[in-house]
Every structure is written in C-alpha cells, then in structure tokens.
Structure 1
C-alpha cells in the first residue's frame, strides 16, 4: 500500500491534477482537511471508501489511521488544501511514517498563492519590478518563526511577499511591512480563492487593514504585498525579446 499526500488545490474542485483525481478515485481510504477540501472531491472516492475528516484530529490520531491502513494493505489518499509543500504539516507526518515503515508519495497541487494571483490577474514576478516571491506567515497562535524570518527583516528585500494564515493580524502585518515598503505600496487580500464565494480586496498597506475589517474576512485568505501588483511601463521579458530571438 501507499499513502499519497495529494494537493487538493485552493478550493475549486476542478483545480486538481489528473494524477491526484485518479488516485482519489481509486483509494479505499481518504483523509481530508475538513472544510478546506471541496466536498466534490470526496464524491470522487470509490463507493464504501473510509472517509476521515482530520480537522479536529491530533497528529497521533492521523498517523494511527495511516498505519492502520498500511496494516490492512489499503492505499490512502491524504488530501491537503493547496499544495502540500507549503504550510501543510506534511513533514511531521512523513517523519512518523518513515519511523513506522509506511511508504508514501507526494502529488503536488495548485497552491493558494497561485490562485490568488489568478484572481488578481497579476504576475508576481514582473521584469524590472520584482523577481522574487517570499511565502511566509506570522507566528501568532502558531509555531514561532525562526530567527531572521520576521516581517520587518523580510520586508527589507522589497520582494513580492505573500502571507498565509495571517489575515486575522492584518493590522500588525501592515505595521511591520510599512517601514520597508511604504504606506503607498500596493496590497491585496484574496479570500476563498477560486471558490464561488471568492473575495478580492485591492488597496495599499495604508488602507488594506480597514478594507479587510469592513469585509469581515477572518480566515482562508492570503495577503499579497508588492509593487508587482500595480506595475506598469515595465520592460518586456528577455525571454520573448526581439534581441534574443535574433541570436
């Protein structure tokens, strides 16, 4: 048997890879992350499949389910929202599966920041403006951030910065980033990206917190800050330039 860590995408049921869809349709056991995984994906599971909502489970309980499936020689579709390489808690599950001798594979998915970029109709890496994306979060009610990864330090780069799990602290986020980016720096918040109830807010670091409060957004959102959000008049990419094509 194999445990398949599958990126279930940002919310829309059709934003999943063909590989992920195929594995879900064949797995007799499916563990999924509660309200973060679209219900339509659970409908793909085969008849009689064991469906386990992990939203209120501990790590020990989740791993016990995976080990039990291994003992019964049953494949597992372990669904994570977005892409499991980012803020998914997959690493500690894999560490325990290694110790238990349970095989696993990882199937990538569409990350939330990519869905947010699509909703904003923006490229986050714009020639001459920003060629770096920082994916991060804040430490409130979560594991402390490593030294040197605080927002004030990261903000000195001027790169496009995307924050997960931070919208409840939007005021503090803006306050920490303003010294590096300025109050006029474009900022956006995308909640429930790719879902029918998607909300897109555009503003600046100076006013984005107020927009978020007025909209009542408190979860399932990403914050994006950077000049790439409003870039105009930038040079064309060298990839498709006439000079490159002549060489």
Structure 2
C-alpha cells in the first residue's frame, strides 16, 4: 500500500495521529525535503529506506514507489501541509492507477490553518468575510483565465496567497489593481509553526517593504483582508437571542455587547 500523507505545516507534533503511526510502520518514506520538517523522519524505524524528493523528478519518485509497493512494502509519500493544497499528488495517483496499485490519502494540517493560528485570527468573521480564497501569483507556472490575483481581489474576501514571496512588489500592484486600498490590512507569516516563525503585520501597500526589512524571501504566506482588522459582528450561533435545534432563544441571557457596529470598508 502507498500512503500520501500530509506532514502538517512544520512542527513535528502537528502531523495527524494516523500519519505518525504510518510513518512508524513505513518500509519506505519519500519526503518533500525542501519543505517537510526532517524531525518527522525520527518517527521512522531504523531499517526504513528514506528518500528526498527535492532532488527527484516525478518519474524517479514513481520508479521508487512502484517496485516497493509491488513487493508488499508499506510506502509513505510525505507531503508538506495537506497534499490537496499545491501538493502535486494528483499526477502521482494517476500514474499509480496505471500500475493497478492501491493508495490512500491521509490529510494534514495546511499551512494556511497554521498561519491563522499564528495570527490568532479567524478567517471567516460575520459581516467581514465568509469566504477564503487560497491562491498564488502567476509565475513560471501560469494560472487559468479569470484566476489572477486582481480577479480575486475584487471580491474583498479573505485571501491567503501561497508560493508568492518572491514576487511581492508585483503582488501589491495586483491587489491594488483588483480593488484593495494600499492601507488595507495584510500580514506575512513566515514558516508557520516552525521554531523560526515570523509573524509580520503590515498593509497591502507595505507587503514588499515589510518582507525585505525582515529578510523574508520565501516560505511565507501572505494574508489579506478585513479579518485582520478589529471590526466584526457577533456570531449568531452562540447568541442567546438565536434559536437552534439544541437551544431555545432567551434574550434575558444577552449580556455581551456587540464588538462593533462598524466594519472595515474596502478601499476604492
């Protein structure tokens, strides 16, 4: 069996219990060496064969996994974060199907979740943003039509931008071109959950400047949106005046005042 496992955002104890147990049993581990915390390899048994996919091509990864699986070995393909987000594991799974090999995917904690934890923020705030756009800048790998940064910026939803730390000046221009004001809140999270993590608050107009001042050139997520501000409405879910299938409405229990009645307004 071959398992595609999400290693989590970085911290070795943020892998799932299932993922850790499979690492302990694995006969072969092929890990994304440029992104996965090597401390996770400490879970492997001494005789496990370990390979770094950072120096391998897709063809070489498949050539290593297939014979091992055909021999009945337990193979782990260890991806950073969650494999479904910029994990490039679909092409691997499709090739494995052609060999009639079984595989499973074990989800992991994505770095965009770890970034929110580091920011102590909630991406989905009532009356601020109820949608999260996960995207990246167009670089050597293109993006489909109507899926550029400026297209998404028009929505003023929460944005989490991957794989773009080397193009921050261009990113700023795209965000502003799409409708964000230069003074709207943004944040850079470098290596979320790692020991050398950096959390940098800034504005849309100072993203590149802030990154340069803190020597951030890669391995960072850029977050943009009103969720980083102070204005939002109280959730109805735990509001005493809101009736649910588990609780009757009772306005007499309302004691907490709304946080605010004004909201961050997107720049023009």
Both proteins in one fold, TM over 0.5:
yes
**SS of residue matched to 1:189:** strand
CA RMSD of aligned residues (A): 1.0
**SS of residue matched to 2:12:** coil
Alignment of 1:73-152 (within 5 A): 73-141=72-140, 143-152=141-150
Structure 1: distance between partners of 2:40 and 2:150: 39
Q: 1:6-44, CA deviations, whole angstroms, 9 ceiling, x for partnerless residues?
A: 000011000011000001100111010003111221010
Q: 1:95-118, CA deviations, whole angstroms, 9 ceiling, x for partnerless residues?
A: 101111111000010101011101
- The aligned residue for residue 248 of structure 2 is 246
Q: How many residues align?
A: 244
Mapped contact 1:126–1:231 kept (Cα < 8 A): no
- The aligned residue for residue 155 of structure 1 is 153
Mapped contact 1:25–1:44 kept (Cα < 8 A): yes
Structure 1: distance between partners of 2:131 and 2:189: 20
TM-score normalised per structure 2: 0.89
- The aligned residue for residue 37 of structure 2 is 38
Mapped contact 1:3–1:103 kept (Cα < 8 A): yes
Structure 2: distance between partners of 1:72 and 1:201: 49
- The aligned residue for residue 177 of structure 1 is 175
Q: 1:33-75, CA deviations, whole angstroms, 9 ceiling, x for partnerless residues?
A: 0031112210101121000000011100001111011222101
Structure 1 moving runs of 4+ over 3 Å: none
CA displacement at 1:213 relative to structure 2: 1.0
Alignment of 1:197-208 (within 5 A): 197-208=196-207
Mapped contact 1:7–1:83 kept (Cα < 8 A): yes
- The aligned residue for residue 62 of structure 1 is 61
- The aligned residue for residue 265 of structure 2 is none
CA displacement at 1:226 relative to structure 2: 0.4
TM-score normalised per structure 1: 0.96
Structure 1: unaligned runs, 5 residues or longer: none
Structure 1: distance between partners of 2:105 and 2:143: 25
Greater CA deviation, 152-161 or 34-43?
34-43
Structure 2: distance between partners of 1:52 and 1:222: 27
